[in-house]
C-alpha cells in the first residue's frame, strides 16, 4: 500500500502535462493511467489473477512544498533537493541544498526511516512546522504552516478486466512446444495486463476480451552461434525488462491461445541482436477448450 501510494505521487509529479491535459474526469483518468504505467513497469501491481483493491477514507494531507531525499538515513540530515515556488517551504525560507536535521522535535539525522519520520511529524503537528536545518556550516530554525490539501475518499480496484459481450473466459498458454522447424520457440508469459503471472502455471485463465501479454523469449542457445549468444546476453543484461516484448491478444470465450517466440534468421547480426530485433512474440496456435 505505501509503495503504491508513493509511486502514484511520483508518477503525478513526473507527468504533470498529463494531469492538466483535460478537465474533470479526463484529468483523473490521465493521472491514473500514468500512475498505473509506472506501477506496472515496477511490478508493484501484484498477480494478474488476484484483483487488488485500495480504499481510503477522506483525509487531509499536509504538503511541505519541498522535495527531500528520503532514500536512506543520513547523519548530516536529509538533503532538500528542490523547493516548490510559493509553497510552504519557500515561505519559511528553506532552500535547495539545505539539510533537515529535525522537524517538530523529531530528529532526522539518526537511523530511523526518513520518509515515515518526516510524514508523521508534519501530520502530528496538524500542519504546524518547526524545522532545525543546516545551510553550509550555519544552523537555522525555521517555522511556518504546511499547505493543507483535502483528499476525497476513494476505492480503486485493479485487475478486473472488462469482459467481452456475453462474458466468458479463455486461456493464454506457453506449455506446448512450438514447432522449431517454423522458427518458433518457447517463451515465458511474465505478465498479463501489467501484472505478474504465478510461477509454474503454463495455462493461464483470463476473462474474454483484450489482454496485453509480456513475454520473455527462451530460444535455445544451440540455435545461435557463440557470438550471437554473447550479444544476446549483453543486450538482456543492459536492457533488463526492455528485453521483454508485448503481445496484444483478443481472447474469445472457450479458446486457448498458444504463444511463442519467432526467431528472425535474417536479423541475427550484432546490431539487430543488440537492438532486440531478432525475435517477436506471436500466437502460433489456437484450440477450443471449455473454460469455467
Per DSSP (E only), the strands in the chain are 52-56, 59-63, 66-68, 78-83, 99-103, 106-107, 128-135, 138-145, 147-151, 154-158, 169-173, 184-185, 187-192, 195-196, 203-207, 209-217, 245-251, 255-263, 279-288
pLDDT in tens, 87-120: 999 999 999 999 999 999 999 988 888 888 888 8
Q: Is the pLDDT of residue 259 over 50?
A: yes
Where are the domains positioned within the chain? 60-150, 169-288
> pLDDT tens digits, residue range 39-67?
887 788 888 888 888 888 888 888 889 99
**Residue 263's closest CA among 211, 213, 225, 214?**
225
**Location of C-alpha cell 489456437:** 286
- Give the side-chain half-sphere CA count within 13 A for 281: 24
Instruction: Output DSSP code: residue 127.
Output: T
| β-pairing verdict for 255-263 and 169-173 | parallel
pLDDT tens digits for 222-251? 999 999 999 999 999 998 878 899 999 999
CATH fold of the domain at 60-150:
Pdz3 Domain (2.30.42)
* pLDDT tens figures, 16-39: 443 444 567 788 888 888 888 888
Q: Which residue has the higher pLDDT, 50 or 134?
A: 134
Does residue 283 have a pLDDT over 80? yes
More confident residue, 185 or 162: 185
Supply the DSSP string of 76-90, one letter for each residue.
T-EEEEEE-TTSHHH
Cβ atoms 146, 64 nearer than 8 A: yes
Residue 15 scores a pLDDT above 70: no
Amino acid at each position: 500500500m505505501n509503495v503504491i501510494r508513493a509511486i502514484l505521487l511520483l508518477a503525478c509529479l513526473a507527468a504533470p502535462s498529463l494531469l492538466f491535459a483535460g478537465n474533470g474526469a479526463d484529468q483523473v483518468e490521465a493521472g491514473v493511467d500514468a500512475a498505473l504505467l509506472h506501477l506496472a513497469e515496477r511490478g508493484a501491481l501484484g498477480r494478474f489473477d488476484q484483483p487488488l483493491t485500495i480504499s481510503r477514507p477522506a483525509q487531509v494531507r499536509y504538503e511541505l512544498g519541498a522535495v527531500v531525499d528520503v532514500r536512506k538515513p543520513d547523519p548530516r540530515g536529509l538533503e532538500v533537493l528542490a523547493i516548490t515556488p510559493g509553497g510552504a517551504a519557500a515561505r519559511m525560507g528553506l532552500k535547495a541544498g539545505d539539510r533537515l536535521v529535525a522537524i517538530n522535535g523529531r530528529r532526522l539525522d539518526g537511523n530511523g526511516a526518513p520518509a515515515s519520520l518526516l510524514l508523521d511529524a508534519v501530520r502530528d503537528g496538524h500542519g504546524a512546522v518547526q524545522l532545525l536545518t543546516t545551510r553550509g556550516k550555519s544552523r537555522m530554525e525555521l517555522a511556518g504552516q504546511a499547505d493543507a490539501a483535502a483528499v476525497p475518499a476513494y476505492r480503486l480496484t485493479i485487475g478486473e478486466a472488462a469482459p467481452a459481450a456475453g462474458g466468458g473466459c479463455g486461456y493464454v498458454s506457453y506449455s506446448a512446444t512450438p514447432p522449431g522447424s517454423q522458427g518458433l520457440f518457447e517463451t515465458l508469459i511474465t505478465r498479463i495486463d501489467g501484472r505478474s503471472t504465478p510461477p509454474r502455471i503454463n495455462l493461464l485463465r483470463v476473462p474474454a476480451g483484450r489482454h496485453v501479454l509480456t513475454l520473455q523469449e527462451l530460444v535455445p542457445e544451440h540455435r545461435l552461434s557463440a557470438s550471437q549468444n554473447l550479444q544476446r546476453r549483453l543486450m538482456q543484461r543492459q536492457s533488463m525488462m526492455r528485453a521483454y516484448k508485448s503481445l496484444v491478444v483478443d481472447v474469445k470465450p472457450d479458446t486457448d491461445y498458444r504463444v511463442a517466440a519467432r526467431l528472425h534468421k535474417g536479423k541475427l547480426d550484432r546490431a539487430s541482436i543488440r537492438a532486440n530485433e531478432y525475435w517477436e512474440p506471436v500466437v502460433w496456435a489456437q484450440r477450443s477448450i471449455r473454460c469455467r
